[in-house]
Amino acid sequence: MMHDVRLGREFFARLLAIDAARAEQTRVAGCGYCEGPLSVGHYERKPRGALFASAGEEFTQRFSYCCSREGCRRRATPPSVRFLGRKVYLESAILVACALVPLIDDRARVIRIATGVAARTVRRWMTWWRTVFAASALWVELRSRAPSLDIDLVPGGMLAVFEGGSVEARLEAAMRFLSPLTTGPAWRSRSPRAAI
Ligand SMILES: [Zn+2]
């Protein structure tokens, strides 16, 4: 069951390695607007909740860069498997918290302790899955893989679509799948900013 999930250090290390590799690709490619050199402008993050007890320093930054060219200075934020939103919460926290949502009325405190995500925030994220995610190309792709998957069962039911012998493996596969949503114009223009 999702509420019994324990995420180990290796899991977090693997996610960090994926993000670090993508961040390096972004940095080397330079500014997407003017091709100017990029400098570091990482966002500070603070993972919370028992689920992340074994996560270390590697979860305190969302990789991001700024163009160093005068007059441009645009942001370049690579896609992430660690952070779904632009603010505090880790993607795995959001996925697990939302997967537990049928239990939310009587288990809100438990969910908060496990994931660090408050019940109110989980509810806002559930709206995100039903609106932003439901309108995305990723949802269309997911439905082509699992035609019987109903949007009302996302994200908990979505995890079953991804292969893996453990909850960690499924989570990782789901996070890789979702990572295009973590950056770019679609995220910027349609995110429920208050929710994150
Ligand atoms: Zn630039």
Max CA-CA distance within the chain? 54
Structure tokens at 187: 């995220």
pTM for the complete prediction?
0.78
Distance 64 CA to ligand 1 centre (A): 14
Distance 84 CA to ligand 1 centre (A): 25
Q: What is the pLDDT of residues 148-183, one digit of tens each?
A: 999 988 888 888 888 888 888 888 899 889 888 887
Distance 53 CA to ligand 1 centre (A): 38
Q: Report CA-CA distances (Å) from 185 to 33, 49, 72, 91, 146.
A: 14, 30, 17, 19, 27
Residue 88 has a pLDDT of 64
Distance 34 CA to ligand 1 centre (A): 4
Distance 138 CA to ligand 1 centre (A): 29
Distance 93 CA to ligand 1 centre (A): 33
Residue 196 has a pLDDT of 35
Distance 56 CA to ligand 1 centre (A): 33
Give the list of residues 6+ apart from residue 98 with CB closer than 8 angstroms, or none.
122, 125, 126, 129, 155, 156
Distance 78 CA to ligand 1 centre (A): 15
Distance 32 CA to ligand 1 centre (A): 7
Measured between alpha carbons, how far is 196 from 192 in angstroms, rounded to an integer?
7
Token match 């050199």: residue? 37
Q: Give the residues across from 64 on adjacent strands.
A: none
Beta-sheet strands, E only, within 1-150: 38-40, 43-44, 61-62, 65-67, 75-76
Residue 190 has a pLDDT of 37
Distance 168 CA to ligand 1 centre (A): 38
Distance 90 CA to ligand 1 centre (A): 28
Distance 73 CA to ligand 1 centre (A): 6
- Ion ligand 1 — residues with CB under 5 Å? 31, 33-34, 36, 67, 69, 72
Q: Which residues of the chain have pLDDT under 50?
A: 185-196
Amino acid at 16: L
Distance 72 CA to ligand 1 centre (A): 5
> What are the residue boundaries of the structural domains of the chain, listed by start?
2-186
Residue 183 has a pLDDT of 77
